[in-house]
Each structure stands twice: as structure tokens, then as C-alpha cells.
């Protein structure tokens, strides 16, 4: 009764079911922790101490967890601002510094050029975890200890190997003719760089900016070591206080709310600019 075509159709359908079964299972495993935390962060105080089964608020949506989070450190807004200032500062400085350096390495010849390029790339070989102690002392000598600006400069330096590499390649890809033409029209130096070349290397700038933002926003170890006063803590450092608990009791609602606050900007930036992030990942990995 069943024809060959029937059998093939059935087999295809079974393959599709299996494929989507595996796909949905994997997606569930990787997404569930986010969804559960996010939903749980809106449970009222009374539910925060209970296991999240189900994770959504059963007695009405509440912002108790976020209010509890606000009682730690110098208030959640302050620490969000700290993280925001450090991250945007890192993005801005990284873009400016690597744009200039990328242009210099791509278009100029000068003594020791290759040595300096290798030196910048070599920053990758030595993990910053191993130079934090002297960084701590050097920042203190510069009067930049426990300062968000000092931390920003460290983050910018950590971003440089990837960013300079990325920007140099971006400039290498711009045809020289465009530059020559602009020069004949009278554009020179910084004006040429900003007006004519910047729009052409914008994809590279976007890539550099995303990586700088995510790395600065998420960084924990250097911030933990280099920031010493409560007021200056970035979000991840603040969260160690929340996680440690007061008098031994941990407010899990506040932990969920804190995770939500830290995670949402990353997911947002990534989902919005996925294309550039992936390009950067490939460039970084293949290098």
C-alpha cells in the first residue's frame, strides 16, 4: 500500500522532527537560565526565597528585588553609572586611539614600525592577570588608583592589540586612490582621516566598539583589584557584596535583579550588532 514516495516523505518528516527536537532542546538549555533569572527577578520578596518552580511571579509582578538591589553599596544607579562611564569611556578612547594607530600603521613608513606593531600585538601573549600587581602600584604612583579613569585606561590598553590589528586591516582595504583624490582636493591629515576615511572604515569601528563595550562592561578581576572604594565599584564588583550577603543571609532576589541588570545590555548590544561581532570574532580567531 505504501509507495516509495510515501516512505521517503515519512522519513523526511521524521528527520525534520528530530532536527527541530535537537535544536529546541539545545536552545532551551542555553536560553533557560536567562529567562528563568529574568522572570524570577520580578517575583515579590516573599517568593524570592523559594525555588523558582515556576520561575514567574505567581502573586503579582513586583520590583522588590530591584529595590533590594538598590540598598547595596552606593545604590544601583550609582554603580550602573560607573559601569556605563567606564564602558563608554573605553569605547570612545579605544576607537580614537586605534583609529589613529591603524591609520599610522597602514599608511606611513617610519623607523621601528614593525617592532612597535609587534609590541602592541604582543600584549595578547601576556595575560593582564599576571601584571595586575605592578599595575596597581603604577596607577597609585600616577595618582590614578581607585579611579574609574585609571581603570578605563587599563581597559583601553587591553583592547589595543585586537583593535589596532582590526583598524590597520580596515585601512589597508581602502583603495589608495580615494586618499590621493581627497589630497588633491585639499583634505589633509586629520581632516582627511575624519571626513574622508572614517566613513569608509565604519564597519571596523563598529566591530572595535562592540568588543570594547562588552569587555569593559563585563570585566571583573581588574575592577576588583584596582577599585577600592565602595562609591567607585562597577556592577560586577558591587555584585560580590550582594553575593556575599549580609550577616550570612543572601538576598537571592537582589542577585537575580543584579544579573538581569548586567546581562540585558550585553544581549541587547549583541543582538543589535551581531554581524559586526561575528566578523570581529573571525578576525580575532584566525589571526
Partner 1 sequence: MTSTQTAGPHRRPVRRKSGYRGLLYIAPAMALVLVFFVLPVLFTVWMSLHKWPLLGQPTWSGLQNYTRMFSDIRFLQALTFTAKYTFFVTIAIFAVAFPLALFVERHRPFISFYRTAIFLPVVVGLASASLLWVWLANVDSGLFGPLLQRLGLTSGKVNLLATFDAAFLTVIAMVVWKIAGFTMIILVTGLQAIPTELTEAARIDGAGRWQRFRYLTLPLMRRTIALALILSVTGSILAFDQFYIMTSGGPQNRMISVVYYIFNQSFVSFNLGYGAALSIALLAILVAISVVQLWLLRVGDERP
- Considering only residues 199 to 228 of the shown chain, the ones binding partner 1 according to CB under 8 A are 214, 217-221, 224-225
By C-alpha distance, which of 205, 230, 218 is closest to 264?
A: 218
Query: Judged by CB under 8 A, which of 88, 145, 157, 169 binds partner 1?
Result: 157
Q: Please list every residue from 174 through 203 that binds partner 1, using CB under 8 A.
A: 175-177, 180, 183-184, 188
In whole angstroms, how far apart are CA 117 and each of 22, 127, 169?
A: 46, 18, 13
Helix (H, G, I), strand (E, B) or coil at 249: strand
Looking at residues 50 to 109 of the shown chain, list those that interact with partner 1 (rule: CB under 8 A): 50-53, 55, 96-98, 100-101, 103-109
- Cα–Cα distances (Å) from 62 to 36, 147, 195, 198, 232, in that order, read 15, 35, 50, 46, 29
The sign of the CA dihedral 69, 75, 80, 82 is negative
How far does Cα 39 stand from its chain's mean position? Answer: 23
Give the interface segment with partner 1, choosing from 4-12, 65-73, 133-141, 197-205 (CB under 8 A): 133-141
51 or 143: CB nearest partner 1: 51
Should residue 272 be labelled a site residue for partner 1 when binding is judged by CB under 8 A? no
Q: Binding residue for partner 1 (CB under 8 A) from 42, 232, 255, 276?
A: 255
Choose, by CB under 8 A, the member of 153, 166, 197, 227 that binds partner 1: 153
DSSP designation for 187: -
Residue 249's DSSP bridge partners are 246
Minimum distance between the CB of residue 2 and partner 1, rounded to whole angstroms? 26
Amino acid at each position: 500500500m505504501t509507495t516509495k514516495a510515501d516512505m521517503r516523505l515519512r522519513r523526511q518528516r521524521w528527520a525534520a522532527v528530530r532536527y527541530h527536537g535537537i535544536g529546541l532542546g539545545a536552545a532551551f538549555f542555553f536560553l533557560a537560565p536567562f529567562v528563568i533569572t529574568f522572570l524570577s527577578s520580578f517575583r515579590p520578596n516573599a517568593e524570592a526565597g523559594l525555588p523558582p518552580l515556576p520561575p514567574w511571579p505567581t502573586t503579582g509582578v513586583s520590583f522588590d528585588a530591584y529595590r533590594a538591589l538598590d540598598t547595596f553599596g552606593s545604590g544601583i544607579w550609582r554603580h550602573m553609572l560607573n559601569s556605563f562611564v567606564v564602558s563608554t569611556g573605553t569605547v570612545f578612547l579605544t576607537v580614537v586611539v586605534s583609529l589613529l594607530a591603524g591609520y599610522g600603521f597602514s599608511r606611513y613608513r617610519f623607523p621601528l614600525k614593525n617592532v612597535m606593531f609587534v609590541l602592541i600585538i604582543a600584549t595578547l601573549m601576556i595575560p593582564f592577570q599576571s601584571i595586575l600587581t605592578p599595575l596597581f602600584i603604577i596607577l597609585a604612583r600616577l595618582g590614578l588608583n581607585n579611579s574609574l579613569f585609571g581603570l578605563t585606561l587599563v581597559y583601553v590598553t587591553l583592547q589595543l592589540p585586537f583593535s589596532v590589528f582590526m583598524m590597520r586591516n580596515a585601512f589597508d582595504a581602502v583603495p589608495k586612490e580615494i586618499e590621493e583624490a581627497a589630497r588633491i582636493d585639499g583634505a589633509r591629515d586629520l581632516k582627511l582621516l575624519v571626513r574622508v576615511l572614517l566613513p569608509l572604515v565604519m564597519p571596523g569601528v563598529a566591530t572595535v566598539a562592540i568588543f570594547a563595550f562588552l569587555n569593559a562592561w563585563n570585566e571583573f578581576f581588574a575592577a576588583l583589584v584596582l577599585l577600592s572604594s565602595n562609591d567607585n565599584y562597577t556592577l560586577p564588583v558591587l555584585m560580590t557584596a550582594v553575593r556575599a550577603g549580609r550577616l550570612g543571609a543572601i538576598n537571592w532576589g537582589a542577585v537575580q535583579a543584579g544579573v538581569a541588570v548586567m546581562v540585558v545590555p550585553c544581549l541587547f548590544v549583541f543582538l543589535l550588532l551581531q554581524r559586526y561581532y561575528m566578523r570581529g570574532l573571525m578576525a580575532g580567531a584566525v589571526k
